[in-house]
Amino acid sequence: MNSPIADSSSLLDPTALPLRSVNSIIGSALVVAPHPDDETLGCGGAIALLRTLGYPVHVLVISDGTLSHPRSLKYPASRLRALREAETREALSVLGVGDEVTFLRLLDGSIPTSTLPGIRGAIARCRTCLEAWMPETIFLPWRFDPHPDHRATWKLIHTTLIALNYSPRIIEYPIWDWDPEQQGDFTNIEQIVGWRLDIQALLETKQRAIAAYRSQTTNLIDDDPEGFQLTPEMLANFVRPWEMYLEEVR
């Protein structure tokens, strides 16, 4: 039985949530990532398990990820975008995904919402992808994730699905809610249940995939003092023998 998300304690003690096997989500899947690496951090275990069982998995990366090191001279935006896409391909290869990845290359930090220019074009491009794939399950970033690009990504796909009159299973994954300083308030979020996916069998595979993102986990780009790098504390949340997911009760 699923456990309702009543407050933020589910993130403070996620081991209280029920543990499921991949058999609970078998079928074709689309993993939507706001930035290159979110798909591996949040869903790397699920991706690897589904591919091991032979199910098709597509990955849709929404933004170009070029704000991670905006002041680097060694890696200006065009070179950084190419690097991050290469890292994504490497990580997905480790997870068992071949060329089934699409990069929308929307501007990092400016994924459009209903109040921003470009929303119609973004919806049209997402619609083309969804019509081509028609996955049984879509993994999306948690709708209330502290990062605005993550929330905008959820809204973008949600709006596209409404336009398509298409209702696949939606499974949401937290990223920045794992950071205590950014964690949102889960109080009074009704009809959302939490559960964990057992990824113990392929945890090492996920760890190797995460390591492919050298621009985000090491000092590879060393000429931007304000450049982004995942801390060991943050990374620890994604290398557990399970992944946490959130799902709306229908």
Domain ranges, ordered by start, for the chain: 3-248
Q: Tell me the backbone φ, ψ of residue 79, rounded to 5 degrees.
A: -75, -35
What pLDDT was estimated at residue 2? Answer: 43
| Nearest Cα residue to 89 out of 1, 213, 235 | 213
> Are 66 and 81 within 8 A, CB to CB?
yes
Find the helix or strand (DSSP H, E) in which 164 lies. helix 148-164
* Distance in angstroms (rounded) separating the CA atoms of residues 42 and 106: 20
Per-residue pLDDT, 180 = 83
Nearest to 95 by CA among 37, 162, 140: 37
- Tell me the pLDDT tens digit for each residue of 170-207: 999 999 999 888 887 665 566 889 999 999 999 999 99
Task: List, as one string, the DSSP characters of 180-224.
Answer: TTT----TT-TTEEEEEEE-GGGHHHHHHHHHT-HHHHSSSS-S-
Q: What is the pLDDT of residue 13?
A: 83
List per-block mean pLDDT (blocks of 10 residues) for the chain, which spans 250 residues. 47 87 97 98 98 98 97 97 98 96 96 84 96 97 96 96 96 94 71 94 98 98 95 97 92
Ramachandran quadrant class, 202 (left: phi over 0; alpha: psi -120 to 50; beta: rest): alpha
Nearest C-alpha neighbor of 60 from the set 47, 70, 75, 76: 47
Relative to beta strand 29-33, strand 137-141 is parallel
Which pair of structure tokens corresponds to residue 24? 């609970």
Question: pLDDT at position 185, please?
Answer: 67
What's the confidence (pLDDT) of residue 113? 86
pLDDT value, residue 188: 56
Q: Which CATH number among 3.40.50.720, 3.40.50.10320, 2.20.25.240, 3.30.2320.20 corresponds to the domain 3-248? A: 3.40.50.10320
Structure tokens of 203?
């945890």
pTM as predicted: 0.94
What pLDDT is attached to residue 11?
67
CA distance 86 to 213: 9
Using alpha carbons, select from 36, 94, 115 the residue that is nearest to residue 68: 36
d(CA 140, CA 136): 13
